[in-house]
Each structure stands twice: as structure tokens, then as C-alpha cells.
């Protein structure tokens, strides 16, 4: 939801009223669009900042910048932003130095004679539409509370003006500095700017560059967006809850499908018999009587129990063979070992086994069994079940579905990690996932302030 004060009803388009004068430094013609509200204008040709409140148009300062920055949105461009028509009248560059590295961003001063001043700021292709506010936020922890919304502290630093162009409502100075503190509640950003003279608060809203390019009919290419802006709305904002719900439904569906198949399975005993192996039978195979397997192609489970096994094994080479000549060949071992080692008893293995043959079609079958054993004599009991419900694929499916919440958490964390990486709190993403439900901003515009980002 957009900040309402930034989306006021469209004002009547105003005709540009401009005043021209000559630069006191180089004589270059200068245009003043902000009427009586403009206090200073910067000459593009010589870098002089002229004091318009002085009748002799004295030079306030001169920017000795070797680099001539060109605003992406040219001065004099007019366009509707959030329903109001604004004209770009000033452009400045600010910089902060963090750990010896300079970070620069651009700020555009917008003017509407009825609405006053607004700002557009641009950093790494991310844009904000900003206005000053007279509502003072309340301190809450290291963040602030503003309009029933918690803004998290993002960063504090000192910025300096490195380049100016066009006109401004204060007497901008070369190298002018201010301390600023940013708080975020995407897509809003709240900035506190302090100079020795005053403290100003401004509220900004993240704005898509496409909106600005269209509004101001900018023809130059749009700069690519790099990284994540402090107050950029997460693509998962407001969606995480519904995605969790969806994942929950998938888990419920898995349980439902499994239980339905579980209760509707036959789980029918189709064959059962007891056998005895003796060493004299070694190498001899036996076949069982024929039994019927019904229903759709499904599993056949062969359960075997053997006794006595005392530090010995029984190996059953088995084949489930159909009357029409198909054989499902498999081998199973049952072994049981026990003993004592260093005074403690141990056991290994067991007395039973379970083998599952998959997708066996209906028909008449028998088992061929070829037993081997290390014991002189072993009794074993074989039972054959048809269409037995199994849990393995259910748990595999749950495991596969668990990838979804992991993926969701990872993607949200990755986005927030990028957001906070350039803040004063990198690596604290879990504690600082911002509330991303924008609320209405009721603050009134401050008609004249000082530096507003």
C-alpha cells in the first residue's frame, strides 16, 4: 500500500514559471524554476553556487569537481509521481566513507508550487520518493516507532555533498556534511538528518525505476539494479504466510493419500508354510504349492522367521515364480550372533526378515526355495502377503516436501541477507526481518527544511 501523502489526488498541472539570470562566476545563463523558494542555484559551467537571497548574487562556494555528473533525469523534466506533477529543479551527489571506501548516491530535488518539495534518491539503480515530515518518531529499542509501525535501524553515518547542479531551497555548501540515521520498514524508509543547526526527519518510499522513466519520459537507459535496497520490498513480502499454508496443505494431502491407500490395501495372507533345513539338504531346492495372487499389480511381501539360530545364519535363495514362466529372484539372509566382549554382552542380527517384491501382477504363483545355513538344523516359517501398505514412500515424500520450507526459508534469508549486508547489522538477518506491511503515513509535509534525502 502506498504512503497516502505521497499519493495525493492529482493536482492541476502547472505551467513552468522560470526566471533567468547570469552566473556571477562565469556569466553562464542560469534558470530558476523554484520561484521565491529557491535560495541557491549551482552553475553547471563553473560549479559556482550562487546565493539568490543576496541582491548581488554572491558566490556561496565553488565545487571543484573534476567529474561532471549528468543527472539520469534531466533538470527541467516534469512528470507525475504518486499523482502529483513535479519538476526536477536540483541535483546533488552525496557520499559516505565506510571503512575507507566511498559510497555515492544521487538526489534529485522535485518542486511543485502547490505541493512543495520532494526528493528522489538513487543508489545502485534503486529509487526512493522522499518527503520531509514534521511527525517525530518515537524511539523503540535501536529502532523507532512511527505511525503504528516499527522501523528497524539500518545504518548511521555522516554524508557529505560532493556535487551540485541546479537550484535548492537552502544555501548548499561544498562539502556540507550531515549525520544521518536510516530506519526501515519496507517499502518505507525513515531518515533522521542532523546538522549542528537542526534535526530533520523524512519518510521515503521505494519506487520502481520504470515508474519514474515513464513519468518523466526519460530516454536514457535505466541503470541496472544492483543488490537489494534497504527498503526494497521483499518479493516474498505478504506471501510467506500463504506459501507456508500451501506447504502445509501438501503435507496434509500426503497424509491423506497415504492413509487412503493404507486402509484400502488388501494386506492379505496368500501363502504360509513351515520348513526345516538340515545339512543333508544342502544344495537342494524345494518348491511350494501354488497359491493365487489377486488384484491390481502391487507388492508381494515375503516374511520369514527362523529358529534356532545361535551364532549362525540361514540364507534363503528364493524365487517367486508364476505359472506362465516369470520368476522374481532374490536372496535373503537371517543371522543371529551374540557374545561378550570386555565383560559386556552383545548381539547382532535377528530371527526374522521381510522382503518386498514390487508391482507383481495377479496370477498363480509358487516359491522356489534353496536354503543354506551354517547351523546343523534350522526351522523356518514363510508367509506371503499381497498388497501390503508400506511407509517408506510416505516418509520419502515427506522428506521431499521438507525441501519446500527449507527452500522458502533459504530464499527469504538470502534476500534479507543481501539487504542487511550493507547495514550496520550484517549477519543478523533472523533478528531483523522487517515488517513489510506498509501502513499509511499521516505526516504533514514540511514546507521548508534543510537537507532531505
Partner 1 sequence: MKTFIIVYGAAVLLLMGIAEYRGWSLMSYQEQKGVPKTLRENPGSYRSSYARTLHK
Q: List interacting residues with partner 1 (CB under 8 A).
A: 235-236, 239, 242-243, 246-247, 250, 253-254, 257-258, 261, 283-287, 296-300, 313, 315, 317, 319, 321, 323, 325-331, 333, 355-360, 366, 368, 370, 372, 374, 387-390, 392-394, 396-397, 400-401, 403-404, 408, 411
Select 98 or 252, whichever has its Cβ closest to partner 1. 252
Question: Using CB atoms within 10 A of its CB, is residue 270 exposed (0-12), middle (13-18) or buried (19+)?
Answer: middle
State in angstroms the smallest separation of the CB of 205 from partner 1.
24
What whole-number distance in Å separates Cα of residue 254 and Cα of residue 396? 11
State in angstroms the smallest separation of the CB of 250 from partner 1.
4
Select 51 or 333, whichever has its Cβ closest to partner 1. 333
Calculate Rg over the CA atoms of the chain.
39
CB-CB contact of 40 with 60 (8 Å):
yes
What whole-number distance in Å separates Cα of residue 170 and Cα of residue 376? 105
State in angstroms the smallest separation of the CB of 285 from partner 1.
4
Select 141 or 235, whichever has its Cβ closest to partner 1. 235
Select 214 or 359, whichever has its Cβ closest to partner 1. 359
> 262: part of which helix (H) or strand (E)?
helix 240-264
Select 228 or 360, whichever has its Cβ closest to partner 1. 360
Residue with cell 519538476: 87
Beta bridge partners of 272: 383
State in angstroms the smallest separation of the CB of 426 from partner 1.
25
What is the secondary structure of 35-104 as a DSSP string?
A: GGG--EEE-TTT-EEEETTSTT--EEEE---SS----SS-TT-EEEETTEEEEEEEEEEEEEEETTEEEE
Select 47 or 186, whichever has its Cβ closest to partner 1. 186
State in angstroms the smallest separation of the CB of 403 from partner 1.
8
What whole-number distance in Å separates Cα of residue 442 and Cα of residue 149? 12
State in angstroms the smallest separation of the CB of 237 from partner 1.
12
CB-CB contact of 78 with 87 (8 Å):
yes
State in angstroms the smallest separation of the CB of 387 from partner 1.
6
**Among positive and negative, which fits the CA dihedral 282, 287, 293, 297?**
positive
Select 17 or 284, whichever has its Cβ closest to partner 1. 284
Amino acid at each position: 500500500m502506498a504512503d497516502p501523502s505521497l499519493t495525493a489526488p492529482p493536482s492541476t498541472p502547472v505551467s513552468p514559471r522560470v526566471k533567468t539570470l547570469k552566473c556571477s562566476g562565469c556569466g553562464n545563463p542560469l534558470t530558476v524554476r523554484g520561484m521565491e523558494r529557491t535560495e541557491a542555484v549551482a552553475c553547471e559551467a563553473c560549479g559556482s553556487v550562487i546565493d539568490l537571497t543576496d541582491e548581488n548574487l554572491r558566490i556561496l562556494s565553488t565545487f571543484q569537481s573534476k567529474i561532471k555528473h549528468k543527472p539520469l533525469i534531466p533538470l527541467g523534466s516534469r512528470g507525475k509521481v504518486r499523482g502529483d506533477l513535479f519538476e526536477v529543479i536540483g541535483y546533488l551527489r552525496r557520499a559516505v566513507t565506510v571503512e575507507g571506501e566511498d559510497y555515492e548516491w544521487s538526489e534529485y530535488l522535485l518542486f511543485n508550487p502547490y505541493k512543495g518539495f520532494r526528493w528522489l534518491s538513487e543508489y545502485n539503480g534503486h529509487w526512493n520518493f522522499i518527503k520531509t515530515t514534521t511527525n517525530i518518531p518515537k524511539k523503540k529499542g535501536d529502532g523507532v516507532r512511527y505511525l503504528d509501525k516499527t522501523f528497524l535501524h539500518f545504518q548511521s553515518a555522516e554524508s557529505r555533498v560532493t556535487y551540485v547542479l541546479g537550484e535548492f531551497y537552502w544555501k548548499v555548501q561544498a562539502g556540507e556534511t550531515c549525520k544521518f540515521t536510516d530506519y526501515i520498514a519496507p517499502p518505507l524508509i525513515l531518515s533522521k538528518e542532523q546538522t549542528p543547526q537542526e534535526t530533520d526527519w523524512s519518510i521515503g518510499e521505494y519506487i520502481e525505476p520504470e515508474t519514474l522513466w515513464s513519468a518523466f519520459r526519460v530516454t536514457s537507459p535505466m541503470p541496472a539494479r544492483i543488490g537489494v535496497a534497504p527498503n526494497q520490498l521483499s518479493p516474498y513480502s505478504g506471501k510467506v504466510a500463504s506459501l507456508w499454508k500451501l506447504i502445509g496443505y501438501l503435507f496434509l494431502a500426503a497424509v491423506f493419500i497415504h492413509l487412503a491407500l493404507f486402509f484400502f490395501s488388501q494386506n492379505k495372507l496368500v501363502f504360509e508354510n513351515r520348513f526345516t533345513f538340515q545339512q543333508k539338504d544342502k544344495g537342494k531346492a524345494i518348491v511350494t504349492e501354488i497359491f493365487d495372487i489377486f488384484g491390481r499389480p502391487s507388492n508381494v511381501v515375503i516374511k520369514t522367521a527362523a529358529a534356532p539360530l545361535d551364532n549362525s545364519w540361514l540364507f534363503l535363495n528364493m524365487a517367486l515364480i508364476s505359472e506362465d514362466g516369470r520368476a522374481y529372484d532374490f536372496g535373503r539372509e537371517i543371522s543371529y550372533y551374540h557374545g561378550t566382549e570386555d565383560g559386556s554382552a552383545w548381539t547382532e542380527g535377528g530371527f526374522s526378515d521381510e522382503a518386498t517384491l514390487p508391482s507383481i501382477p495377479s496370477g498363480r504363483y509358487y516359491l522356489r526355495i534353496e536354503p543354506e545355513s551354517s547351523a546343523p538344523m534350522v526351522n523356518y516359517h514363510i508367509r506371503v502377503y499381497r498388497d501390503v501398505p508400506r511407509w517408506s514412500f510416505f516418509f520419502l515424500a515427506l522428506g521431499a516436501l521438507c525441501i519446500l520450507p527449507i527452500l522458502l526459508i533459504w530464499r527469504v534469508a538470502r534476500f534479507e541477507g543481501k539487504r542487511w549486508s550493507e547495514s550496520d547489522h550484517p549477519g543478523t538477518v533472523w533478528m531483523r526481518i522487517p515488517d513489510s506491511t506498509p501502513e499509511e503515513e499521516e505526516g504533514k509535509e514540511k514546507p521548508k527544511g534543510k537537507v532531505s534525502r
